[in-house]
Chains A and B, each alone.
Chain A
């Protein structure tokens, strides 16, 4: 497997195969970040394609002293947020795939978590977050990037990242418990109502 630095240099020199290989290596993470922020696969595809074309155009100016991933993810995050701003927030009720139906409230918490429903909840609730809170939460809490890396991508301090996440959690927690109680484990719901529950 070629060294990434060598790949980037070759791509900057116009080697098509190197550009293609760079896209193959990075596309999944770029698409994931774009999807987590926009909440839609089509939007994620549009954002990702634009990001890589922009990256290709800027490779000639890329400074090897800079971290490539930080640069790439920053472009991705900004492009995704720009699209969300232009498009406006998505409605809280996204159409279900054909043939699907809303699961029972009780059974959801007693079995595997329905990721599709969790996704719908996140799309609706994260639309109420400030962009920087949404970005910080997506990168750190969902994508699992290190706080230091998130800080570099967002060009803020680590303490600012932690503060954004704290605010995001507060808002998401309140929205989840208020609007999607079926997703919340029974014991937590009962504790929230002040009931005595055996742990």
Chain B
């Protein structure tokens, strides 16, 4: 057949360079005779012509835009989580310092000692203002062996267990 490409590579399932393959498929789409030769033994070979469907530019542009938006969203989410975690840790450490002072001062003071196992709500003043209404966290005295107090402090995602011991000065 004159004017028709050699179909042997594609008929034998050879792996063609992309440009050569596209050229061959483009010919097959327009030439019924060559198409008939292609599907001589296997009609499913017709589906290889689906490689000719172009990807609309609008689709490509939407993918790029969507990816940029998605990455920006993820970046903001990671920054927010990180800021929240750092803020919570800072608040927890601040409260721990205050609590340490409180527990030391109660020794010998007439104030009621904290009861092991009882949860105590704490409120915090933050740069944004006092977090009234909702407790910022809880502290709980887990145990008080001797001169020490073992305290659990929970603020948002941060959990601390601390030991205060007046004799040891910690």
Contact = CB atoms under 8 A, between A and B. Distances in A.
B96 to A, nearest CB: 33
A173 B16 contact: no
Interface of A: 19-20, 23-24, 27-28, 30-32, 35-36, 41, 44-45, 48-50, 52-53, 56-57, 109-113, 115, 118-119, 122, 137, 141-144, 146-147, 168-169, 172-173, 176-177, 183-188
Contacts of B39: 184-185, 188
Q: Which of A31, A50, A111, A147 has the most CB atoms of chain B within a 10 A radius of its CB? A: A31
B32 A110 contact: yes
A155 B50 CA distance: 25
Nearest to A44: B59
Given A35-B55, A109-B32, A45 B48 contact: no
Interface string B14-28: 011010010000001
B50 A118 contact: yes
A122 B44 CA distance: 9
B29 A113 contact: yes
A178 to B, nearest CB: 11
A119 B50 CA distance: 7
Q: Report, as a range, how many residues of chain B touch the other chain.
A: 35 or more
A1 B80 CA distance: 36
> Which DSSP category, helix, strand, loop or mixed, fits chain A's interface?
helix
A23 B64 contact: yes
Interface string B30-72: 1010011001101111111111110110011011101110110
A67 to B, nearest CB: 17
Given A20-B68, A146-B15, A27 B48 contact: no
Interface in B101-157: none
B74 interface: yes
A28 B60 contact: yes
Given A31-B60, A52-B63, A115 B50 contact: yes
B31 to A, nearest CB: 8
Given A31-B55, A110-B32, A49 B70 contact: yes
B44 A176 contact: yes
A144 B51 contact: yes
Given A49-B70, A146-B15, A185-B39, A115 B49 contact: yes
A57 B51 CA distance: 30
Given A20-B64, A27-B63, 13 more contacts: A23-B64, A48-B66, A49-B70, A53-B71, A110-B32, A113-B46, A113-B49, A115-B52, A118-B46, A168-B44, A169-B44, A184-B39, A187-B36
A141 B70 contact: no
Contacts of A109: 32
B71 A56 contact: yes
Contacts of A56: 67, 71, 74
A119 B53 contact: yes
A173 B38 CA distance: 13
Interface centre among A27, A56, A111 (most CB of B within 10 A): A27
Nearest to B53: A115
Given A53-B74, A144-B15, A172 B47 contact: yes
